[in-house]
Amino acid sequence: MTSLTSRIDAELQRLRSAGLYISPRVLEAPQRPITRVLGREVVNLASNNYLGFADHPFLKERARQFLETWGAGVGAVRTIAGTLSIHEDFETQLAEFKGTGSALVLHSGFTTNQGVLGSLLQEGDLVVSDELNHASIIDGLRLAKATKKVFKHKDMQDLERVLLENPTDGLKLIVTDGVFSMDGDIAPLDKIVEIARRYGAVTYVDDAHGSGVLGEAGRGTVHHFGFEHADDVIQIGTLSKAWGVVGGYAAGTRDLRDLLINKARPFLFSTGHPPAVVGALSAAVELIQREPHIMETLWDNTRYFKAELSRLGFDTFGSETPITPVIFGETGAAFEASRLLLERGVFAVGIGFPTVPRGSARIRNIVTAAHTRDMLDRALAAYEAVGRELGVVAG
Ligand SMILES: *Cc1c(COP(=O)(O)O)cnc(C)c1O
């Protein structure tokens, strides 16, 4: 018989010996470009807060208004009595922004993948998924009865091979991240959609890291490639990264929205977002359109930070977006670099095997619109010192 304590002990032991044990860093101040970690003031390069919206006064003010007017919670799942007019108003606002006919908001990006993939896929269908897709796609596909195949990262020949080798009369779905979260590279959507059309497949884009970052005023990767009106391209994303709050969305046709309302289990069986969340999100989508310079600052900072890292001799792994990996090689070296950076007032997290392949352990930096040049220069000075100390750059 297995006791609870022996199960927990054994599992923790297994995680520790596999180097997978995590203890989260705690921020002792709000999510800002300068925050506090382990009692030290640090330049924060660890968040997904691309636009600096997590702590933005405009979002906080709208959240306060909605809290006062509409209350702290909604008291029911969306399909029973938990849909307030503010939920639907925000979905209309989001659909208009995205240029799609319709949008549905779910609790998070994670549950959106579960809900949408689970609602669409049936036995006899084929799903073809990029090998570097996010964990929530992998978990969402676990729930689906379709045949699941993986293609090599952004490898269009391999994608075609998988489609050729797996003919079906069912639905064919090609699933890809819009922007890949570990390398910061962009999916070749133009090529993927072209191949999808030749094989009668639908393209499904998880745009968690592209939304608020790519496309006009942050309309996302699908907009960046001009497919927002295509009814054979489905986009899902998160409201938790660039939009600074929490939530997920699926954007597509009105019928897709209707299907999800009726079938997506995380939507059907979990209570809707509280009014303060809806308020902050509606302010976020409004703000980015009113003040497009916020996105320009994000990209100015991104270009500056990458160029300076390269000048110092660091390898940023061909990243094309604000996600800026700095390669340190072995996992131990990346973790050591993260620790040394923290000592020098920079908060950036090391990522190693198995999250990324062996030998490409890295620190993943995310530059935001809220960083000033001075903050980035402080971070670069720390990188230079740590890179020399670890022998990663010449000095
Ligand atoms: C972060 C992320 C998610 C999860 O989004 P949450 O809103 O935080 O649940 C889903 N997909 C991708 C590609 C992500 O990067």
Per-chain mean pLDDT for the chain: 96
**For residue 111, which atom of ligand 1 is closest to its CA?**
9
Catalytic residue check, 181: yes
Mean pLDDT of 154-174: 98
The pLDDT score that the predictor gives to residue 368 is 98
Reported confidence tier of residue 233, pLDDT bands at 50, 70, 90: very high
Predicted confidence at residue 166, as pLDDT, reads 98
Q: How distant, in Å, are the alpha carbons of 242, 252, 281, 309, 374 from that of 99?
A: 18, 9, 17, 36, 37
Helix, strand and coil percent figures for the chain, each rounded to 5: 45, 15, 40
Q: Tell which residue, 40, 27, 44, has the closest CA to residue 371.
A: 44
Q: How confident is the model at residue 143 (pLDDT cuts 50, 70, 90)?
A: confident
Portion of the chain with pLDDT greater than 70, in percent = 100
Residue with CA nearest ligand 1 atom 12: 208
Distance from first CA to last CA of the chain, Å, rounded?
Answer: 59
Q: What is the pLDDT of residues 362-371, one digit of tens each?
A: 999 999 999 9
Structure tokens belonging to residue 233: 């391209």
pLDDT at 19 over 90: no
What's the 221 CA to ligand 1 centre distance in angstroms? 15
Nearest CA to ligand 1 atom 10: 109
* Token digits of residue 80: 């029973």
Does ligand 1 lie within 6 Å of residue 107's CB atom? no
pLDDT of residue 172: 98
Q: For the residues 75-93, what does the mean pLDDT come to?
A: 98
Going by C-beta distance under 8 Å and a sequence separation of 6 or more, which residues neighbour residue 53? 59, 242, 243, 244, 245, 284, 287
Q: Is 136 an active-site residue?
A: no
Give the whole-angstrom CA distance, residue 227 versus residue 222: 5
With vertex at residue 353, the alpha carbon angle to CA 347 and CA 355, rounded to the nearest 5 degrees, is 75
Q: Is 191 a catalytic residue?
A: no
DSSP-based three-state secondary structure for 191: helix
Is residue 114 within 8 Å of residue 128, measured between CB atoms? no
Q: Which atom of ligand 1 is nearest the CA belonging to 238?
A: 7
Residue 394 has pLDDT above 90, yes or no: no
246-283 confidence digits (pLDDT tens): 999 999 999 999 999 999 999 999 999 999 999 999 99
Q: Output the CA 224–ligand 1 centroid distance in Å.
A: 19
Cβ of 136 closer than 6 Å to ligand 1, yes or no, is yes
177 Cα: distance to centroid of ligand 1 (angstroms): 10
84, 77 contact by CB (below 8 A): no
Amino acid at 323: I
What residues contact 252, with CB distance under 8 A and at least 6 apart?
100, 101, 102, 103, 231, 233, 234, 235
Residue 49 alpha carbon to ligand 1 centre in Å: 13
Cα–Cα dist 40/167, whole Å = 57
- Would you place residue 198 in the very low, low, confident or very high pLDDT band (cuts 50, 70, 90)? very high
Q: Active-site residue among 209, 223, 224, 273?
A: 209
Residue 77 is given by DSSP the state B
Atom 14 of ligand 1, nearest CA residue = 208
Q: What is the pLDDT of residue 169?
A: 97
pLDDT at 395: 75
With contact defined as beta carbons under 8 Å apart, do 323 and 19 qualify? Answer: no
What is the reported pLDDT for 18? 87
Tens of pLDDT, residue by residue over 38-63, are 999 999 999 999 999 999 999 999 99
d(CA 32, CA 44) in angstroms, rounded, equals 7
> Ligand 1 centroid vs 109 CA: distance in angstroms?
5
The atom number, within ligand 1, closest to the CA of 48 reads: 1
Q: CB-based contacts of 364: which residues, under 8 Å, 6+ apart? A: 46, 182, 323, 324, 325, 348, 349, 351
Q: Rounded to an integer, what distance in angstroms lies between the CA atom of residue 18 and that of residue 196?
A: 39
Listed in order, strand segments (DSSP E) in the chain are 34-37, 40-44, 102-106, 126-130, 147-151, 172-177, 202-206, 233-238, 248-252, 323-329, 346-347, 349-351, 361-366
Q: What does the pLDDT average to over 13-26?
A: 91
Q: Looking at per-residue confidence, does 189 or 352 come out higher? A: 189
Among candidate residues 316, 276, 236, the one with its CA nearest the CA of residue 65:
276
Mean pLDDT, range 316-340, rounded to an integer: 95
Q: Is 110 in the pocket of ligand 1 (CB under 6 A)?
A: yes
Contacts of 315 (CB under 8 A, 6+ apart): 326, 327
Considering the chain, tell me which residue range(s) the CATH 3.90.1150.10 domain(s) occupy: 26-53+292-389
Q: Select 26-53+292-389's CATH number: 2.50.20.10, 3.60.9.10, 3.90.1150.10, 3.40.50.170.
A: 3.90.1150.10
Asked if residues 213 and 242 have their Cβ atoms less than 8 Å apart, the reply is: yes
| Å from CA of 167 to ligand 1 middle | 30
The closest-lying atom of ligand 1 relative to the alpha carbon of residue 206 is 13
Radius of gyration of the chain (CA): 22
- Whether the predicted pLDDT of 95 surpasses 90: yes
The rounded Å distance from CA 185 to ligand 1 centre is 16
As given in the structure block, the two tokens for residue 166 are 């797996």
At 329-349, the pLDDT tens digits run 999 999 999 999 999 999 999
Q: Which residues contact residue 361 at a Cβ distance below 8 angstroms, ignoring those fewer than 6 apart?
A: 327, 328, 329, 330, 331, 332, 333, 334, 335, 350, 351, 352, 353
Ligand 1 and 134: CB distance under 6 A:
yes
CATH 3.40.640.10 spans which residues of the chain? 57-290
**With a 6 A CB cut-off, is 238 part of the ligand 1 pocket?**
yes
163 residue type, one letter: L
Beta bridge partners of 204: 175, 234
| Substitution candidate for ligand 1 out of 113, 240, 243, 277 with most atoms within 8 A of CB | 240
Asked whether the predicted pLDDT for residue 232 surpasses 90, the reply is: yes
Q: Does 356 score more than 80 pLDDT?
A: yes
**What pLDDT is recorded for position 37?**
97
The band of 353, judged by pLDDT with boundaries at 50, 70 and 90, is confident
Q: Which of 102, 119, 181, 319 is flagged as catalytic? A: 181
Domain made up of 57-290: CATH architecture: 3-Layer(aba) Sandwich (3.40)
